[in-house]
Amino acid sequence: MNKALIPLLLVSAAIALYEQSLAHPNYYLMGGAGVVFIYCMAKLSAKIPPKKEDDGHE
């Protein structure tokens, strides 16, 4: 699943940027691409481990 998220992320970003550059952009398509982009970023960032382990002491 992780390998499918990266191309999907890139395609959704490209669609959103292309639509934004048009004279009359389709806002529904841009919004959908934005939602897909945010979903993919959230899924990918959830797999990154934290730098330090928090042991509860401050």
Give me 22's structure tokens. Answer: 């048009």
Q: Can you give the pLDDT at residue 47?
A: 80
Amino acid identity of 36? Answer: V
* Identity of residue 22: L
What pTM was computed for the model? 0.77
Per-residue tokens: 17: 């940027």
pLDDT of residue 31: 94
Residues in the chain with pLDDT values less than 70: 1, 54-58
Nearest of 16, 18, 8 to residue 42 by alpha carbon: 8
* Identity at 18, one-letter amino acid code: Y
pLDDT at 54: 64
